[in-house]
Structures are given as structure tokens and as C-alpha cells.
């Protein structure tokens, strides 16, 4: 016998109780979505820079932990890398933080400054289409996906206004816009030439770089070149680490996952949402079973098996999971947009995350049903009547 109608009739009989249950499940769904969304936004934003670079192999200092905590290594290692078979070109990249003065209200805020040789573009063309402006002294490209606290730079530039401000007390001009995006480590970015970078950070030595980008010739085997560099450059000098593209991305992700508490906190928040939802659904199902214990006993007396009655409870749990997930999903899509607009972080709804949270919601309700179902097994007609 198909028992879903009975499960649904029992749930909707107490409409207020059903609405409270759905509100509780939706709250748990939203909590899990928010925590997972923030966690994934942290990881995604942390590696936008890495994914934007053109190169197959990357060199960093062994003492570097992440983009926000880079140590320099000698540029000579790049020239040595140029000597390996299959290498087409090498490019140094400079990274540091500086105080940016908002041209609208004169407030200051820390911004990441990225320097590179404009004659050897290291960024994908869809990120940096034209490097000509930064060949001029004291000209930078502003990241229009930076947080709004840096000022309405993109709006001013697009309106044809000349945008001038100060970075580290030095007057600079915005010569163009790019789009990288803010992260948990950097609220915004400006890109400029290596010479302009060294003008801003006049205490930095030109021969010391933060990241080395190695481009390979067409047809070269990246894995083979990587192993040769690691064996003959990394292991010999021990003052540089040679990474593949994925290794460079993992280098950043590992820092945020293991060296900070942020990833753990978001994962813990997801787990708490799951536990809260489980408790709420259990209370609803247990109360429903207790209120209908006489009916369950009557069904047993009529010949229905324990298995059938267990099906009814589990179907109630599944119905609650689906009905509670839908409003939580819709509301969280809106919350993601509000968060994205307010923080410039890539908080977006993905199919993978939606399926994961739906699976957690079903599991949450099924676990609750499995605990509450024990009450059904106690429904003995002899005791009730």
C-alpha cells in the first residue's frame, strides 16, 4: 500500500506545527548554505590571482605561506630556470600592501599592489587586456571588483574623469581598470609595472621577487620540466620552491585550510546547522508520533506491520526535508546576492553546493525519523485499549 498520503495527512493536520517545523528546517538549511558559501568564497577568492596568471610553473620562496605572507627570493633563480629545456620565458611578480587614499573622502585603506613587467604580460588577456598605461611612471590599473571603501574609482574612470590619488604618500594616476576581486586577505588590488612598484616601495631591492612565472614552449611536457627544476634547482639551491599550476593553487588553499581558523569555523558552523535541524525535526516527529500513538496501535490491530508504520514516519521525514529545503534555498540565493554586493566576495549558489545541502537536509530528517520511529514500535494495541 502506498503510504505517502497518510504521512502527508498527518503532517498537515496540525498546520501550525507543520509551519513551525518547516521554518526550523529552513533555518538549518540557510545556516548550512551560509557557512558553506562563505567557506567556498574564501577559498575561491584566495586563488583568483593564481588562476589569472599565464604560466605552467611557479617559483616561490620556501618561507612563503600565502599571498598575504610572501617572502622574497633571488631573481637569479628565474634566470637559471630559463636555462631548462622547454622553458620559453620567465617573469618576476612583485607583491606588497600599501595604504590607498580614497580620492572622494581622503580615508585610507590597505590595498594589495602587484607589479610585473608590462613587456612580458603575466595575466590572462581577459584580466589585463592592455598594459600600455602602466608603462608610464606612477600609473596603475585599478581592480574594479575591489571593495567600495576605496572610492568610486570605476565610476569616475568610466565617466572620463582623471582619477588621481596617493599610495604610500606618492601621487599616482589610474590608467585603466581590471577585474580580479577582493578576498579575505586583500580588500582590493592595483596592478602596475615593476618599475612603478619599486618606486612605491623604494626600500625593496629589484633583484628580490615574490613569485616567478615560468611559461613553457608549445609541446613541452610540464610534468617533465617541473621534475627537472625540482631536482636541479629546488633541491640544489634550497632557497626556492618549484610548483606546478595546481601546486601553486594548493599552496594558497592549504594556508587558509590548515594555518587559519576560518575554514574550521565555517565547517563547524555547517555541522551545528545540521545538528540544530536534526533536533528540530526529531521534536516534531516525536510529538506527531506520540499524538497519533492510538492510531498507530489501531493500524497494528488491523494487521499492518511495523515496517509499514516505519515507512509512514520516514516518509514524513522526507516530506519535511523537501518542503523545508525549498524556502531555505530560495532565501539563501537572495542572501548570497546581498552578501556578494556588500563584500565583493564570490558568494554564488552552485549546483554542487545545492545538492550537498539537500543531501544533508534529507540525512538530517532521516536520522531524526530513525530516532523518533522507536516510539512507533512501542505502539501495542493491548496497552492502548
CA 369: distance to chain centroid? 33
CB atoms within 10 A of CB 342: 11
| pTM of the predicted structure, to 2 decimals | 0.78
Alpha-carbon gap, residue 192 to 121, rounded angstroms = 11
The DSSP call for residue 123 is B
Alpha-carbon gap, residue 207 to 209, rounded angstroms = 7
pLDDT tens for the chain, 385 residues long, are 444 566 677 777 778 878 888 888 899 899 999 989 988 888 888 899 999 999 999 999 999 989 988 999 999 999 999 989 999 999 999 999 999 999 989 999 999 999 999 998 899 988 898 899 999 999 999 999 898 899 999 999 999 999 999 999 899 999 999 998 888 788 899 999 999 999 999 888 878 999 999 999 999 999 999 999 999 999 888 899 999 999 999 999 988 888 777 778 888 888 888 888 888 888 887 777 777 666 666 766 676 666 676 777 788 888 888 988 999 999 999 999 998 888 777 888 999 999 999 999 988 888 888 787 776 666 555 555 5
From the list 10, 40, 24, the residue with the least C-alpha distance to 262 is 40
For residue 343, what is its C-alpha cell?
A: 563584500
Residue 208 burial (10 A CB sphere; 0-12, 13-18, 19+): middle
For residue 262, what is its C-alpha cell?
A: 576560518
The DSSP secondary structure of 35-96, one letter per residue, reads: HHHHHHHHHHHHTHHHHHB--SEEEE-TT--BTTB---EETHHHHHHTTSTTEEEEEEEEEE
CB atoms within 10 A of CB 203: 5
From the list 104, 80, 102, 29, the residue with the least C-alpha distance to 364 is 29
Alpha-carbon gap, residue 250 to 215, rounded angstroms = 19
From the list 325, 352, 347, 316, the residue with the least C-alpha distance to 334 is 347
Is the sign of the CA dihedral 244, 250, 252, 258 positive or negative? Answer: negative
For residue 287, what is its C-alpha cell?
A: 510529538
Alpha-carbon gap, residue 373 to 61, rounded angstroms = 58
Which helix (H) or strand (E) is 99 found in, with range? strand 87-101
From the list 107, 98, 104, the residue with the least C-alpha distance to 156 is 104
The DSSP call for residue 101 is E
Amino acid at each position: 500500500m502506498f503510504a505517502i498520503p497518510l504521512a502527508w495527512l498527518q503532517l498537515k493536520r496540525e498546520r501550525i506545527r507543520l509551519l513551525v517545523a518547516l521554518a526550523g528546517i529552513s533555518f538549518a538549511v540557510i545556516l548550512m548554505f551560509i557557512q558553506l558559501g562563505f567557506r567556498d568564497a574564501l577559498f575561491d577568492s584566495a586563488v583568483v590571482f593564481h588562476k589569472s596568471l599565464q604560466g605552467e610553473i611557479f617559483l616561490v620562496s620556501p618561507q612563503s605561506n600565502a599571498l598575504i605572507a610572501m617572502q622574497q627570493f633571488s631573481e637569479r633563480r628565474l634566470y637559471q630556470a630559463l636555462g631548462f629545456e622547454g622553458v620559453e620565458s620567465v617573469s618576476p611578480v612583485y607583491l606588497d600592501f600599501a595604504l590607498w587614499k580614497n580620492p572622494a573622502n581622503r580615508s585610507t585603506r590597505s590595498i594589495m599592489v602587484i607589479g610585473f613587467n608590462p613587456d612580458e604580460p603575466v595575466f590572462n588577456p581577459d584580466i589585463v587586456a592592455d598594459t600600455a598605461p602602466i608603462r608610464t611612471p606612477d600609473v596603475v590599473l585599478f581592480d574594479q571588483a575591489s571593495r567600495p571603501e576605496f572610492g568610486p574609482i570605476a565610476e569616475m574612470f568610466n565617466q572620463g574623469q582623471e582619477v588621481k590619488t596617493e599610495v604610500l604618500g606618492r601621487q599616482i594616476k589610474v590608467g585603466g581598470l581590471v577585474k580580479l576581486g577582493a578576498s579575505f586577505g586583500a580588500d582590493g588590488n592595483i596592478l602596475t609595472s615593476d618599475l612603478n612598484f619599486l618606486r612605491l616601495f623604494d626600500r625593496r631591492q629589484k633583484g628580490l621577487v615574490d613569485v616567478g612565472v615560468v611559461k613553457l614552449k608549445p609541446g613541452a611536457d610540464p610534468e617533465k620540466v617541473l621534475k627537472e627544476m625540482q631536482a636541479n634547482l629546488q633541491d640544489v639551491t634550497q632557497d626556492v620552491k618549484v610548483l606546478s599550476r595546481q601546486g601553486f593553487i594548493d599552496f594558497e588553499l592549504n594556508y587558509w585550510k590548515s594555518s587559519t581558523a576560518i575554514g574550521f569555523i565555517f565547517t563547524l558552523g555547517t555541522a551545528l546547522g545540521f545538528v540544530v535541524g536534526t533536533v528540530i525535526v526529531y521534536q516534531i516527529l516525536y510529538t506527531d508520533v506520540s499524538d497519533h500513538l492510538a492510531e498507530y496501535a489501531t493500524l497494528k490491530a488491523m494487521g499492518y506491520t511495523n515496517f509499514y508504520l516505519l515507512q509512514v514516519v520516514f516518509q514524513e521525514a522526507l516530506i519535511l526535508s523537501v518542503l523545508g529545503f525549498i524556502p531555505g534555498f530560495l532565501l539563501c540565493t537572495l542572501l548570497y546576492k546581498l552578501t556578494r554586493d556588500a563584500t565583493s566576495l564570490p558568494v554564488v549558489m552552485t549546483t554542487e553546493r545545492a545538492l550537498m545541502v539537500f543531501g544533508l537536509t534529507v540525512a538530517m530528517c532521516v536520522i531524526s525519523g530513525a530516532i523518533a520511529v522507536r516510539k512507533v514500535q512501542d505502539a501495542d494495541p493491548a496497552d492502548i485499549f
